[in-house]
Amino acid sequence: GNGFVHTANHGTPDRRWSKILGEYLSRFGIVVPESPAVLDIGCGNNATWNYLALISYLSERALGFPQYVGVDMYEEAFSKAREGLEGLAIFIACDARELSRHVEGPFHLILCQHPPLTTSKEGPRIWQAVFEEAARVLDPEGCFVLTSFWVNDHIPAQVAVQKAGLEILYSGKNAYPGKIFDKGSDGEDLQYDKYILLARKPRS
């Protein structure tokens, strides 16, 4: 069949994310240190792909292994990933609005894929609280990377990230999106990692 059409042309999720990090971090002068601490918010079982992406990104630059921490609301969300990455990654089930009670930081890289800002009225407020916690544990030289699969989530996410006190370096279409998996109520194609946002702590 036309299998390759579905994966767009950027390969498996780990290959795409390795490219995303390579492209955007260097474009905005983000320097990733050796063995960086990485926090993946709402990681789910996608954690496996993200971990592999980090391994590939870091090994290309001789930066060792990530100190990877994945968080999600429930143990079940990441049980497969935790099994596969045993001894390599740390997983914590917690409400991300209380992140700083569960993780130390500082993190050089914080990832947040497809936060559902518009599934409930409370969405923007809940996620702003999460982003405030992310800002708290982000390294002063670190980078916060968020992706959305449609503009309806991306615009409120951008607003919430700014309200959380982070400075936006870039927000727009991602050069390496995944496959289109549905159509939104307004006819927009829903696509994995369609939009991307990079933010950091403001320089004082």
CA distance 112 to 131: 9
How far is it, in rounded angstroms, from Cα 171 to Cα 198?
A: 7
Q: What is the per-residue pLDDT for 5?
A: 43
Is residue 70 within 8 Å of residue 92, measured between CB atoms? yes
If phi over 0 gives left and psi between -120 and 50 gives alpha, with beta otherwise, what is residue 56?
alpha
Domain boundaries, the chain: 3-200
Pick the CATH number of 3-200 from 3.40.220.10, 3.30.590.20, 3.40.50.150, 3.50.4.10: 3.40.50.150
One digit per residue, the tens of pLDDT, for the chain of length 204 reads: 434 444 445 678 899 999 999 999 999 999 999 999 999 999 999 999 999 999 999 999 999 999 999 999 999 999 999 999 999 999 999 999 999 999 989 999 999 999 988 888 898 999 999 999 999 999 999 999 999 999 999 999 999 999 999 999 999 999 999 999 999 888 999 999 999 999 999 987
β 167-173/195-200 pair status: antiparallel
Its pTM stands at 0.93
CA angle 37, 195, 154 (to 5 degrees): 95
Half-sphere exposure of 132 (CA within 13 A, CB side): 11
- The pLDDT tens digits for 3-56 are 444 444 567 889 999 999 999 999 999 999 999 999 999 999 999 999 999 999
- Tell me the CB-side half-sphere exposure of residue 17, using CA atoms within 13 A: 24
